[in-house]
Amino acid sequence: MKFSALVKAFSLFFAAMACLSVTSAQANNYKSEYKLSIVVNATSPWEQGAQIWSDLVRERTEGRINIKIYRGASLVQGEQTREFTAIRQGVIDMAVGSTINWSPQIRQLNIFSMPFLLPDDAALDALVQGEVGKQLFALIDKAGVVPLAWGENGFRQISNARQAIQLPEDMKGLKLRVVGAPLYMDILTALGASPVPMSWAEAQPALANGTVEGQENPLSIYLGSRLYDAGQKYLTLWNYMNDPLVFVVNKNIWNSWTEQDREIVRQAALDAATQEIAIARKGVAPEDDSVLKEIASHGVEIIRLTPEQHNAFVKATRPVFDKWKERIGPELVEQALQDIENRKK
Q: What is the pLDDT of residue 41?
A: 85
Spatial contact of 116 and 95, defined as CB atoms under 8 Å apart: no
**Residue segments in the chain with a per-residue pLDDT below the cut of 70:** 1-28, 345
Query: Alpha-carbon distance 249 to 144, whole Å?
Result: 9
Q: Residue 105 carries which DSSP code?
A: T
Which residues, 6 or more positions from 104, have their beta carbon under 8 angstroms from its beta carbon? 81, 84, 180, 181, 182
Residue type, 4: S
Distance CA 324, CA 224 (A): 32
Residue 1: its pLDDT value, please?
Answer: 54
Closest CA to 124 of 101, 102, 150: 150
Closest CA to 136 of 104, 106, 115, 157: 106
Of the candidates 272, 150, 283, the one whose C-alpha atom is nearest the C-alpha of residue 218 is 283
pLDDT on residue 28? 63
pLDDT value at residue 11 = 55
Sign, CA dihedral 232-238-243-244, equals positive
Q: State how far the Cα of 152 lies from the Cα of 219, in Å rounded to an integer.
A: 12
Structural domains in the chain, CATH included, are 31-341 (3.40.190.170)
Which SS3 state, helix, strand or coil, does residue 114 take?
coil
| CB contact at 8 A, 292 and 302 | yes
Residues contacting residue 298 through CB under 8 Å, at least 6 positions apart = 228, 229
Residue pair 104/81 in contact (Cβ under 8 Å)? The answer is: yes
Task: Give me the pLDDT at residue 9, please.
Answer: 53
Instruction: Give residue-wise pLDDT tens across range 200-230.
Output: 889 989 999 999 999 999 999 999 999 999 9
Instruction: Give residue 22's pLDDT.
Output: 42
- Whether 113 contacts 241, CB under 8 Å: yes
Angle at 324 between CA 318 and CA 326, to 5 degrees: 115
Do the beta carbons of residue 139 and residue 106 sit within 8 Å? yes
Angstrom CA distances, 93 to 51, 88, 194, stand at: 15, 9, 36
What was the pLDDT predicted at 120?
A: 96
Cβ count within 10 A of residue 244: 24
d(Cα 117, Cα 15) in Å, to the nearest integer? Answer: 56
Distance, C-alpha 243 to centroid of its chain: 6
